[in-house]
Structure 1
Amino acid sequence: MKPIFLSILMWACCLQLHAQQACPVIPLPAQSSRANGEMVLNEEVVILTKDNSLQVLATYLSHELQRRFNITNAEKSRASGKVTVIALERGKAGANPDAYTLRMTKAGATITAGSPQGVFNGITTLLQLAETTMPTGTSRHIPCWNITDAPRYAWRGFMLDESRFFFGKEKVKSILDWMAFYKLNRFHWHLTDAPGWRLEIKKYPLLTTVGGIGNHTDPKAPAAFYTQDDIREIVAYAKERFIEVIPEIDMPGHASAANRAYPAFDGGGTEKYPSFTFNPGKEGTYQYLADILKETASLFPSGMIHLGGDEVSFGNKAWDTDTAVISLIKAKGFVNRKQVEDYFFQRMADTVFSLRNKVMAWDEIATATLPANKTIVCWWRQEKPENLKMALGKGYSVIICPRLPFYFDFVQDSTHKTGRKWKAGEYNNLKSVYEFSVAGLPAVKGYERQVLGVQACLWSETISNAKRLDFLLFPRITAFAEAAWTQPASRNFPKFIERLKPQMELFEQARLYYYDYFAPSRHVESGNPTDQKSFID
């Protein structure tokens, strides 16, 4: 009886160990349990699907296995021999298109979802399980897991500012790869602003050849921009990873680069912010911008265009003396610049609606009157909860992206000198990003269904090279991904830190210049010390 008792005891201990072991995936799945055995990943792998709509995902997985693990021809079945089978299956469509299940055994894995994007999420989970397993020769022995998963939010976004510093096509593709790896699915692309215009508009070529000159630290840097073919290539690359790309054409402020190219539509600015605005009093301005938005809409199939709408007050003082604006004010009976701003924005929003797109904008536009079912507000000013309340009260959908803690141009450690801090010395460390909860915002209570999701933003005032971008983005992107995907009740920062350790090795293998949370001296802070400042505006 003793051997039987010991066997039962060992079996029970194994079950307890499996139950206690956290799934190593980031973001943490909704439900996961350790299954028996290990799945072997090597050249003897076959990817199968009976659903033609999933064939493109089988091809994607095959390419990823080759890129990551040098496993070739995974889509081709073998006539004989013991193989590992990865099956992609279409299940019943559910309420959440991101949901999926992953079942693993020694014989292989089955990923089932009601939509292709759910299957894709299952694929990324399997890839991450493989990536965080140490190779044994040319094979990887992946502990088996049973996972049932779905995200908290449909909108899990990341915004990149390329007006202030231009990173280029390959770096953007790399960011999209990492976004997909952590199940982020909205890429908000800030392509125009005061330092530079980065999107080719064929009807107005000077926007890039003149407006594309310079960046935040070097106003004479050679023109840098994306051609329309570049844009199509990147959008297609993102689509393969189930990431929607939303362009931002900032207006009526942050227009200095455009105004350098076409000064006829300049609305003026201030000494600190010269030529900052488009001119809302000239009828030609609206046609000019409509032409730009028409070409933009043709390049981005997401059905959304972000129109900016932020910080117009920084540079609209010149409107007080502009004859065209004065005439507009008299004709409409306006009494202040804010009314002029809202009038401009509502007209440009109508153009976007005519292109069958929704309008996105920063939270300053909460004061405008726009169709609730076609408007998305990005709430970024955490010190202005009244704007969040106003946007929700008007029925607008909302993206939560407050500077604290989701602006990644803020420093992430008390010892860092380059970058932004809030006026009270606050900054955005890994824990604050991870533990943020929308439920903690009083304005949201009762309006939860209007919150589409959350978004991290990386502005590039303090960035002058790709290394600096890496340092600010990694590893905070992992904490943000879990805040966007995983329910608050399932989040635990100390346990997250344990799951983060293997990700550092992946960053190292990818030659990223990341901030090492566990060994801060590994990569010293990079950037321009002259850019250090508190962000008080």
Structure 2
Amino acid sequence: MNTTWRARLSQFLVVGVVVAGLAPAAGAAQSAEVNSAPPGVVPALQKWTGGTGRLVLSANSRVVVPAAAPAGLQQVAQQLAADVAEMTTLHPTVVTGTPAAGDISLRVDAAADFGAAKPELKPEAYRLAVGSTVEIVGGSDKGAYYGSRSLVQAVVSSSDHLSLPVGTAVDYPDYAVRGFMLDVGRRFFTPQYIQSTLRWMGWLKMNTLQIHLNDNGFASKYDNDYSKTPAAFRLKGTNPEFAGLAATDGSYSRTDWDGFESTAAKNAITIIPEIDAPAHSLAFIHFKPELGLNGGNSDHLDLSKPATTAFMKSLFAEFTPWFKGPTVHIGIDEYPSDKTAEYKAYVNTIAPYVRSLGKKVNAWGSFTQMSGGGAGYDKDMVINSWNNDWYSPKAAIADGYKVINSNDALLYVVPFAPYYHGQGLDGGWIFNSWAPNIFGGSNNLPAQDPNLLGGMPAVWNDQTWVDYTELQVHGLIEKSFAALAQKMWSPTAGGTDYSAFLLKVATVGQGPGTSYLPETVMLNRNPSDLAYGRPATASSSETSGLGAANAVDGLDVSRWASSYSDSQWLKVDLGSSKSFNSVRLNWQNAYGKDYDIQTSADGTTWTTVAQRRGLTASGLDTLTFPPATGRYVRMQGITRGTSFGYSLFSFEVISDDLARGRTATASSSETSGLGAANAVDGLDTTRWASSYSDSQWLKVDLGSSKTVKSVRLNWEGAYGKDYDIQTSADGTTWTTVAQRRSRTTAGVDTVTFPAATGRYVRIQGITRGTGYGYSLYSFEVRA
């Protein structure tokens, strides 16, 4: 489980226990409202029919499978129980028999009604019915597994972290291939990364991972010397015939690969291994220089030599037994087009040879560039249509092939490169404008064309000379991964509100077993950010999906983008006059070179409180200034940093309250719902209330020693008549820095004093103003 989830769980534990404790019984409805909104799962459900009330899971809830359930369904049940235990406070057991109230039952029924699911995709379809029990019926074990993903996500996204809305979902994919391709040939990715990615993909109902097992850098970056150019083949067997072939900077043993296959099977994923030849083959040429063109000074195999094809056959024969899935990818892209005859002979030899080993064959589409079309080539293959000029989807289909959308212009990421989406795909564009049938312009296919199997975005690690990590690559992928998963499952079921979709993504997270992968698509609400969730407007928006609200939604993957001119602005309404002393802007690539930060009491007359001049790069930019007040805050652009407009992932207005969001404790709390944290949460609607005696206190830990000059207390009706403000370095020895005596009313009380230092600040009650305790809506500490 991600550490992020551990942090989130702390928000839910108390609430979950209270709700479970109040529920009359497992399965009892808590309200009569119809659950018209479907559970917030990713990808979104195809069909939802809401009932009334909620089913609250409890410590007595079990996962139940029929007697004599097949091993595959039993595995799904065991994994469901483990994932519920990881993602919630519950620890259900797995049993066979008949479900009781509050139980989760799993079964498989290939003949069940799965609505509009295509017949060939019914094995991945499922029904999820919530009433007095939860029932998941899958078209196969895979369908049951996908139903279990929706179940866990629905529980995780519920406010109590324990319940589900009563109703019935019918869900199924629109496309058979919902894939992702990772180039490990040019850059080694650890087994831990592969395992975590498989779990993440299963969580999002993606079903195909293609692993590109060999490749090489660009010789032009290495003095055009192929002997110096890095190249790698990532499988390491024990056969002496291939000793020295596996990369020394990282490779996968048979044990590693078996682990990948096992995890993939448990998460309804097929692994497609790719051994790419006759181009991208420098690893093989380093191993056997005599097999390369130009005397080995090339990354292309010399197909005029029978030994070359014989070697490739021996390689497939050696490693194909490792592969549990039905398909092997043979590459065949980007070979010199003046060697068409040798190339065609190679394709027509290797494809049937791999099939003779018991596997289906996939390949990169290249036939237009190589031969003007697919005439004369082996037809029993599936084509990844990666480039419209090399072999467009329409050309491949006309030649008799089924295709997968891997279009380079739309779906390639080359990490940190100035081409092919070096900073990751734009998830908003994917969500609003892409679907598996979109290849660009006249190459688009009809939606759900019967010859279109689905989509497969790709990460290519071309830049072997650039220093970056696998986790940095993950950060680039995560920006769009959920949007891609949604569009490959159903291009329409996710709706059109990308911000709402991202909130669902942030809520469900990356799923169980993914703690190695840092989460970046998450609700990054800074407790000190006054702008979060407030109304925002702008001078312009490049498109309707890039509106001003994206800059204050707490998500650093949605963004506002202006039109392409200098004098553009973004404004946020804080709701009332607030005090703040900094702003934090997270610029997308289209950053502001020169801009002002301004405040206003009325949204019309503006005062500049900070200026930025000569910014040279995108990313985070924090401006700090003397405390300012205003209801409205805006970024007023002066000069753009690029030829585009201004584009902000986030615009935060940071309160100068040092206590906001910090750890607070108190001498007592009247009830568990009136705890000390309520006084520092930035909300004037929640409160701390003490027990009914005079000598009560509330203390906040500022995290480190700070210089403070005032506190602002917002008293509820149970106010303090006499109290002291104290500071401490260690939370034990206190110094009184201010006193308040004989206060007669509730409401706001600001206490100012000479500068004092301390890590801890507290209000020490002396005399209550009422017969109740002390009660504070807020306790603010200012420098």
Distance 1:391 1:447 in 2: 16
1:437 aligns with 2:453: no
Among 28, 32, 52, which residue is 2:69 paired with? Answer: 52
- Whole-Å separation in 2 of the counterparts to 1:77 and 1:429: 46
Judge conservation of contact 1:473–1:514 (CA < 8 Å) in 2: no
Aligned to 2:461: 460
For 1:69, the aligned partner's letter is T
CA contact (8 A) 1:46 1:77 kept: no
Query: Does structure 1 residue 152 correspond to structure 2 residue 153?
Result: no
Give the Cα–Cα distance (whole angstroms) in 1 for the partners of residues 163 and 304 of structure 2.
67
Matched residue, 1:471: 475
Listed as ranges, the matches of 1:113-124 within 5 Å are: 113-124=138-149
> How many pairs are equivalent?
464
Contact 2:505 2:521 survives alignment (8 Å):
no
> Residues of 2 paired with 1:210 and 1:43: CA distance?
53
Structure-1 separation of matches of 2:153 and 2:46: 16
The whole-number CA distance in structure 2 between the counterparts of 1:120 and 1:337 is: 47
Q: Helix, strand or coil for the counterpart of 2:233? A: coil
Q: Does 1:197 align with 2:197?
A: no
Q: What residue number does 1:338 align with?
A: 340
Q: Which residue of 2 aligns with 1:38?
A: 54
1:90 corresponds to 2:108? yes
> 1:131 and 1:259 mapped to 2: Cα distance?
51
Partner SS state of residue 352, structure 1: helix
Shift of 1:240: 1.4
Cα 1:511/1:294, change in 2 over 3 Å: closer
Amino acid across the alignment from 1:406: L
Cα displacement (A) at 1:516:
4.2
Displacement of 1:484 in angstroms is: 0.3
Match of 2:209 among 146, 167, 187: 187
**C-alpha deviation, 1:404, in angstroms:** 3.2
Shift of 1:501: 3.5
Q: How far does residue 340 in structure 1 lie from its aligned partner after superposition?
A: 2.2
- Structure 1 equivalent of residue 651 of structure 2: none
Secondary structure of the structure 2 residue equivalent to 1:156:
strand
Q: 1:303 to 1:436 in 2, by over 3 A?
A: same
Cα distance change on mapping 1:522 and 1:182 into 2, 3 Å: farther
Amino acid at match of 2:320: A
Q: Is the 8 A contact 1:269 1:277 kept in 2?
A: no
Q: Are 2:450 and 1:449 aligned?
A: yes
- Answer yes or no: is the 8 Å Cα contact 2:502–2:521 preserved in 1: no
| Residues 1:421 and 2:419 aligned together | yes
C-alpha separation between the residues in 1 aligned to 2:85 and 2:39? 24
C-alpha separation in 2, matches of 1:490 and 1:278: 46
Shift of 1:477: 1.1
Contact 2:42 2:204 in 1 (8 A): yes
Whole-angstrom distance in 2 between the partners of 1:506 and 1:57: 15
Aligned to 1:263: 289
Cα distance 1:439–1:456, how it changes in 2: closer, same or farther (>3 A)?
Answer: closer
Distance in 2 between the 1:119 and 1:384 partners?
41
Unmatched segments (≥5 aa) in structure 2 = 1-29, 113-118, 217-230, 523-554, 558-583, 589-616, 618-783
Cα distance in 2 for residues equivalent to 1:133 and 1:422: 38
1:462-509 CA-partner distances (Å, limit 9, x unpaired): 573122122112131100000100143753143423423314596999
**8 Å contact 2:367–2:390 — kept in the other structure?**
no
Q: Which residue of 2 aligns with 1:395?
A: 400
Q: What's the offset of the Cα at 1:365?
A: 4.1
Deviation at residue 84 of structure 1 after TM alignment: 2.1
**Aligned pair in 2 of structure 1 residues 426, 114: CA closer, same or farther (>3 Å)?**
closer
Aligned residue in 2 for 1:312: 335
Counterparts of 1:159 and 1:183 in 2: how far apart (Å)?
A: 15
**Contact map agreement 2:33 2:52 (CA 8 A) in 1:** no
More strand by share: 2
How far apart in 2 are the matches of 1:225 and 1:266? 23
Work out the CA distance in 1 between the residues paired with 2:301 and 2:105: 54
Query: Retained in 2: the 8 A contact 1:103–1:147?
Result: yes
- The answer to whether the 8 A contact 2:366-2:390 is kept is no
Q: Distance in 2 between matches of 1:78 and 1:244?
A: 31
Name the aligned partner's letter for residue 256 of structure 1: L
CA distance change for structure 1 residues 135 and 397 in 2, over 3 Å: closer, same or farther? same
Q: 1:40 to 1:179 in 2, by over 3 A?
A: same
| 8 Å CA contact retained: 1:405, 1:427 | no
Give the counterpart letter for 2:430 in structure 1.
V
Instruction: Return the structure number with greater helix share.
Output: 1
What amino acid maps onto 1:421 in structure 2?
Answer: Y
Matched residue of 1:474: which SS? helix
CA-CA distance at 1:119 after TM superposition: 0.8
Q: How does 1:19-30 map onto structure 2 within 5 Å?
A: 19=36, 21-30=37-46
Structure 2 CA distance for aligned equivalents of residues 400 and 44 of structure 1 = 46
**Cα shift at 1:156:** 0.6
Cα 1:41–1:439 change in 2 (3 A) is same
Is this contact kept in 2: 1:210–1:261, CA < 8 A?
yes
Measured in 1, the distance between the counterparts of 2:85 and 2:143 equals 22
Tell me which of 243, 247, 266 is aligned to 1:212. Answer: 247
Structure 1 residues 110 and 232, CA gap change in structure 2 (3 angstroms)? same
For 1:497, give the aligned amino acid: L
Question: Aligned in 2, Cα 1:446/1:47: closer, same or farther, shift over 3 Å?
Answer: closer
* Greater Cα radius of gyration, structure 1 or 2: 2
1:533 is matched with which residue?
A: none
Residue in 1 that maps onto 2:164: 142
Against the structure 1 CA distance between its residues 400 and 131, is the aligned structure 2 distance closer, same or farther, given a 3 Å change threshold?
same
Give the distance between the partners of 1:201 and 1:266, measured in 2 at CA.
23
Indicate how the Cα distance of structure 1 residues 404 and 290 shifts in structure 2: closer, same or farther if over 3 A, else same: same
Shift of residue 419 of structure 1? 2.9
Distance 2:437 2:587 in 1: 36
Deviations 1:4-59 (A, max 9, x none): xxxxxxx99933xx32x353111111101333222223432211111512222212
Distance 1:440 1:292, change over 3 A: closer
Letter in 2 for 1:199: L
Say if 1:201 and 1:523 are closer, same or farther in 2 by CA, change over 3 A. Answer: farther
Inter-partner Cα distance in structure 1 for 2:511 and 2:325: 31
Deviations 1:355-403 (A, max 9, x none): 132221111146453443x20000111x438532221011111101112
> Which stretch of structure 1 is more off in the superposition, 516-525 or 437-446?
516-525
- What residue number does 2:302 align with? 279
**Matching of residue 480 in structure 1 with residue 484 in structure 2:** yes
Match of 1:177 in 2: 199
**C-alpha deviation, 1:173, in angstroms:** 0.7
Find the residue that maps to 2:453 and give its secondary structure.
Answer: strand
> Residue 65 in 1 paired to residue 101 in 2?
no
Higher relative contact order (CA 8 A, sep 6+): 1
Q: TM-score, normalised by structure 1?
A: 0.78
Q: CA deviation at 1:297?
A: 1.8
Query: d(CA) in 2 for partners of 1:118 and 1:438?
Result: 21
CA positional deviation for 1:285:
1.5
Q: Where do 5+ consecutive residues of structure 1 fail to align?
A: 1-10, 214-222, 317-335, 411-417, 530-537
Secondary structure of the corresponding residue to residue 124 of structure 2: coil
- 1:23–1:33 contact (8 Å) kept in structure 2: no
> Once the 2 structures are TM-superposed, how far is the Cα of residue 510 of structure 1 from its aligned partner?
3.7
Contact 1:309–1:365 at 8 Å: present in 2 too?
A: no
Question: Using a 3 Å threshold, how does the CA distance of structure 1 residues 145 and 160 change in structure 2: closer, same or farther?
Answer: farther
